[in-house]
């Protein structure tokens, strides 16, 4: 009996020991999970701060720049319907086509400057920016015929003669604005890649204030009419250039700006190839074509303007994420941190998508009231109300696609993504939009066939082009080998860099 009792006691002790061991293992696992969650939370917070240092000021600066155009058009609208249509078309279509190409070409700097900054090749950022100035300035000359022959081009696509004539005149007066892009876009990316985004926001605020004042002065006080509206835009955009350059050249960027260099004239052909591929990444041209196509839909014009303005304002947020993602990915890849680049991508896509969902829900909730921002016309209110679902889906989709394009820019995939864009937009989206809009007049019925046709055009281009492109970019990004991308960035930095941070020549590996 004593032996049996002893065995029971021993078994009890063993069981208790096993239970204590299991409890200890569970406690250790729970502790590890808590520590992992804390590490993830800290990592997420650090990445979020780095991202929003770029995204926050970028949203403001882009909203300010977009609002400058809206303000000028609002002042011009008091001159008459033809004048409003002329300034809108000249600014949105003529300038817009060139704006999109030059903006895309300048995004090559997000790859080169971003990766060079991550690799601490600081001296090269100023060289890259000067190369971009040269390439974009020459490109501006090649694009001048679009301004010079704006009137016959607009008549060719069906614009009324009076609108086409005035638009051509305004386009000629906007040539100084056109050349400002060649310097402003590279300066903006040069500063963004160094996380010096606050200065961009302050300069943009100054440009907006100047725009409001000069628009009032030239149009209302001095009665310059449309010429005054164009001059106001010219001055405002050059304020952005001079403001950012003054900050850069007079002590704001001591590591990355060491003055003008003849080295900027070397490697221009390779730089031109990378910039050209970058110019095809942004879908700016795609939506300018939509504006031209709807120019013949006279009954839908006001509703379309309201739709495009709402979408344009909100689009500044994903475009800011485009810039922020490109810089963050480029910085991490340049520093040889593939996993960090992947995490930066995930954080940016997730946060932009959440913001897009919030706007999507708000539009669906307040769909009855959206157009009150622009008009009290019952027909326009009804038209915009009917288009609210399409607007909500567009905003949701645009909260993902530009961010994935930013990943492509930061990684240096410009040429590859350019082919994807050309195929999705112009071989699928545009033909589908024409078929749905002009042939089948697909869309939610408004008060006229024009509104229905417009919705068909936009819906076909969004569902057929942007949605497919987004899906392809999701697959490409998900399958990316980030460590291999970091290796590619290392070789790219060595290939493009001719100098180290002290400005001394070094041998590429």
pLDDT score at 228: 86
Q: Cβ distance 246 to 233 under 8 Å?
A: no
Average the pLDDT over 201-223 and give the result: 89
Coil, helix or strand for 499? Answer: strand
Average the pLDDT over 312-321 and give the result: 79
pLDDT score at 445: 40
Q: What is the average pLDDT value for the chain, to the nearest integer? A: 76
What is the 8-class DSSP label of residue 505? B
CA distances from 438 to 170, 249, 306, 432, 452 (A): 30, 53, 21, 10, 9
More confident residue, 375 or 325: 325
What tens digit of pLDDT does each residue of 273-295 get? 777 766 665 555 556 665 555 54
Give yes or no for residue 48 having a pLDDT over 60: yes
Give yes or no for residue 125 having a pLDDT over 90: no
More confident residue, 13 or 472: 472
More confident residue, 454 or 86: 86
pLDDT score at 41: 78
Q: Cβ distance 193 to 110 under 8 Å?
A: yes
Q: Cβ distance 210 to 236 under 8 Å?
A: yes
What tens digit of pLDDT does each residue of 149-180 get? 888 888 887 777 777 888 888 888 989 999 99
Core vs surface per residue 173-184: b (16+ CB within 10 A) or e: bbbebbbbbbbb
Give yes or no for residue 3 having a pLDDT over 70: no
User: How far is Cα 390 from Cα 384, in angstroms, rounded to an integer?
Assistant: 10
Share of the chain above pLDDT 90, in %: 8
pLDDT score at 300: 46
Give yes or no for residue 244 having a pLDDT over 50: yes
Q: Cβ distance 135 to 101 under 8 Å?
A: no
pLDDT score at 421: 78
Which string of DSSP letters, residue by residue, matches 402-441?
Answer: HHHHHHHHHHT-HHHHHHHHIIIIIIIIHHHHHIIIIIS-
What tens digit of pLDDT does each residue of 67-124 get? 888 788 777 767 766 677 777 778 777 887 788 778 878 877 878 888 888 888 888 8
Domain ranges within the chain, ordered by starting residue: 48-280, 281-492
Q: Cβ distance 347 to 47 under 8 Å?
A: yes
pLDDT score at 506: 38
Average the pLDDT over 133-144 and give the result: 90
**pLDDT bracket for residue 27 (50, 70, 90):** low
Average the pLDDT over 173-200 and give the result: 90
**pLDDT bracket for residue 444 (50, 70, 90):** very low
User: How far is Cα 193 from Cα 53, in angstroms, rounded to an integer?
Assistant: 11
Coil, helix or strand for 72? Answer: helix
Encode 144-198 in three state secondary structure.
HHHHHCHHHHHHHCCCCHHHHHHHHHHHHHCHHHHHHHHHHHHHHHHHHCCCCCH
Give yes or no for residue 305 having a pLDDT over 80: no
Give yes or no for residue 206 having a pLDDT over 90: yes
The pTM assigned to this predicted structure is 0.77
Average the pLDDT over 335-349 and give the result: 87
């Amino acid at each position: 009996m004593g032996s049996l009792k002893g065995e029971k006691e021993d078994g009890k002790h063993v069981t208790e020991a096993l239970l204590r061991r299991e409890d200890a293992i569970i406690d250790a696992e729970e502790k590890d999970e808590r520590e992992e969650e804390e590490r993830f939370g800290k990592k997420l917070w650090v990445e979020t701060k780095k991202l929003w240092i770029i995204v926050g000021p970028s949203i403001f600066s882009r909203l300010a720049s977009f609002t400058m155009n809206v303000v000028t058009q609002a002042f011009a609208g008091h001159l008459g319907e033809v004048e409003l249509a002329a300034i809108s078309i000249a600014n949105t279509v003529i300038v817009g086509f060139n704006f999109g190409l030059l903006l895309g070409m300048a995004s090559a700097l997000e790859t080169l400057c971003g990766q060079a900054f991550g690799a601490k090749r600081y001296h090269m950022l100023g060289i890259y920016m000067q190369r971009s100035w040269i390439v974009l300035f020459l490109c501006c000359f090649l694009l001048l015929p679009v301004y010079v022959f704006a009137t016959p081009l607009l008549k060719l696509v069906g614009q009324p003669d009076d609108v086409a004539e005035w638009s051509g005149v305004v386009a000629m007066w906007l040539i100084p604005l056109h050349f400002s892009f060649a310097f402003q876009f590279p300066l903006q990316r040069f500063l963004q890649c160094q996380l010096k985004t606050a200065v961009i926001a302050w300069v943009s605020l100054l440009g907006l204030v100047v725009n409001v004042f000069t628009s009032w002065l030239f149009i209302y006080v001095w009665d310059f009419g449309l010429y005054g509206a164009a001059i106001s835009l010219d001055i405002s955009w050059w304020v952005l250039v001079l403001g950012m350059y003054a900050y850069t050249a007079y002590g704001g960027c001591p590591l990355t700006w060491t003055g003008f260099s003849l080295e900027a004239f070397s490697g221009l052909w390779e730089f031109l190839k990378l910039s050209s591929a970058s110019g095809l990444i942004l879908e700016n041209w795609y939506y300018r074509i939509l504006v031209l196509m709807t120019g013949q839909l006279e009954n839908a014009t006001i509703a379309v303007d309201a739709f495009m303005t709402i979408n344009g304002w909100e689009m500044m947020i994903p475009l800011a994420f485009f810039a922020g993602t490109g810089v963050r990915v480029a910085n991490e890849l340049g520093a040889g941190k593939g996993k960090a680049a992947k995490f930066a991508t995930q954080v940016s896509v997730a946060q932009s998508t959440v913001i897009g969902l919030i706007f999507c829900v708000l539009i669906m909730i307040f769909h009855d009231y959206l157009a009150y921002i622009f008009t009290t016309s019952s027909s326009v209110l009804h038209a915009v109300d009917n288009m609210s679902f399409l607007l909500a889906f567009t905003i949701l989709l645009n909260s993902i696609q530009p961010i994935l394009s930013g990943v492509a820019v930061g990684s240096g995939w410009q040429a590859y993504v350019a082919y994807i864009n050309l195929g999705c937009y112009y071989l699928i989206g545009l033909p589908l939009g024409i078929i749905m809009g002009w042939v089948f007049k697909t869309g939610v019925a408004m008060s006229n066939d024009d509104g229905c046709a417009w919705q068909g055009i936009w819906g076909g281009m969004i569902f057929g082009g942007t949605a497919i492109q987004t899906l392809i970019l999701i697959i490409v990004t998900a399958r990316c080998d980030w460590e291999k991308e970091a290796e590619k960035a290392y070789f790219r930095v060595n290939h493009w860099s001719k100098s180290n941070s002290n400005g001394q020549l070094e041998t590429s590996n």
